[in-house]
Structure 1
Amino acid sequence: MIDLTLYTTLGCHLCERQEALLAALIRGAYRLEKVEISEDDTLAERYGVRIPVLRDVGGSELDRGFEPQRLADWLAARGWLDETAWQTLRAGEAPAPQAGAPRVEVRHGRRYLG
């Protein structure tokens, strides 16, 4: 099981996009703990302009993981990237998300959460 933390805040559409991309691109089972930064002044100061920030158990953080290439590179560096899903996404098709994950739809070269 892959344990990840997502630093986020209510209504963050980029955070939602990152979650959808993560669900589509990660290989294997994972657990995502969402941390609401607005409830902690220290977290808000640290992550406020950087969210969404994805963090692995080793403490490595990824800013701007809603950008598909950045997320794919970060996952690949850890051996967690579903290469087939990544190639499908790069070809302009929406990869099949894991069960229960939001669907990413591609229309006219733009990706939308479904």
Structure 2
Amino acid sequence: MIRLTLYTTLGCHLCEQLEAWLSVLASVEHRLEKVEISEDDRLLERFGERIPVLVDADGDELERGFEAPRLAEWLAARGWLDEAAWRAAQEGEEPRPASRGAEMRDGRRYLTPPGKL
């Protein structure tokens, strides 16, 4: 299993798109740790205009991973790309992000209140 870190913030639709592509294109089991940047001034300054930023265990960063070709290239360079899924994805639609503990309203993502899950 590989460990990846995603620098994100609540309501980031590009982050959701990256997560959806990652779930389709990664050929290896992965654990994704999400780091909320809005709660830390240093992280906000470093990643604020760059999110989503995906980082591997070696500290190598990927910006704009929501663009499937960039993510596919990054995964392939590490031997983590599901080639068949990538070929299929090139012929079809973009993956739709799964809603896990969140709901969409007026184009924005909100956490689902307790008891509604």
Structure 2 length normalisation: TM-score?
0.80
Cα drift, residue 93 of structure 1? 4.9
Unpaired runs of 5+ residues, structure 1, are: 104-114
* SS state at 1:51 partner: coil
* Structure 2 Cα separation of the partners of residues 52 and 94 of structure 1: 17
Report Cα offsets for 1:15-59 as digits up to 9, x if no partner.
Answer: 000000000000121000000000000000000000000000000
Name the counterpart of 1:22: 22
Provide the identity percentage. Answer: 66
Structure 1 length normalisation: TM-score?
0.82
Indicate the RMSD between aligned Cα atoms, in angstroms.
1.8
**Are the equivalent residues in 2 in contact too, given 1:20–1:102 (CA < 8 A)?**
yes
* Structure 1 Cα separation of the partners of residues 57 and 14 of structure 2: 22
* Counterparts of residues 1-114 of structure 1 (less than 5 Å): 1-93=1-93, 102=98
Q: Please tell me the residue identity of whatever aligns with 1:87.
A: R
| Count of aligned pairs between the two proteins | 99
Q: Please tell me the residue identity of whatever aligns with 1:102.
A: A
Unpaired runs of 5+ residues, structure 2, are: 100-117
Runs ≥4 residues deviating over 6 A: none
**Are the equivalent residues in 2 in contact too, given 1:88–1:94 (CA < 8 A)?**
no
